[in-house]
Amino acid sequence: MTEIETLQRRRELVVLSAELQRATIARLLARVEANPARVALGYAAKVASRPLLITLGTRAVRLAVRAYRRRSESKGRH
């Protein structure tokens, strides 16, 4: 087998591997799209996590503001 033939064989194997990976991904996507419960649960999880992040973020800001006020008040007394 010549070097050119070896390289051509490797190229064919790489192309075949890419086609198999593409088919696997297409099959997985079709399975997810076919199951509406998964899609609904995914959307529900996204919606539920955002208000939680907002709540936690506002609490963190409130704590920081309180700490800043306490610190500035304590400096004014001395």
Domain count along the chain: 1
Angle at which helices 3-34 and 36-77 cross, to 10°: 80
Q: Is the pTM of this model over 0.85?
A: no
Q: What are the pLDDT digits (tens) for 42-66?
A: 766 666 666 666 777 778 888 888 8
Inside any domain, residue 19: yes
Inside any domain, residue 55: no
- Confirm if 1 and 7 have CB atoms less than 8 A apart: no
Alpha-helical (H) ranges within the chain are: 3-34, 36-77
CA torsion sign, 61 to 62 to 65 to 67?
negative
Angle at 46 between CA 45 and CA 48, to 5 degrees: 65
Token pair 């297409």 is found at 26
Domain of 29 in residue numbering reads as 1-34
Q: Does residue 14 register a pLDDT over 70? A: yes
Inside any domain, residue 57: no
d(CA 32, CA 25): 11
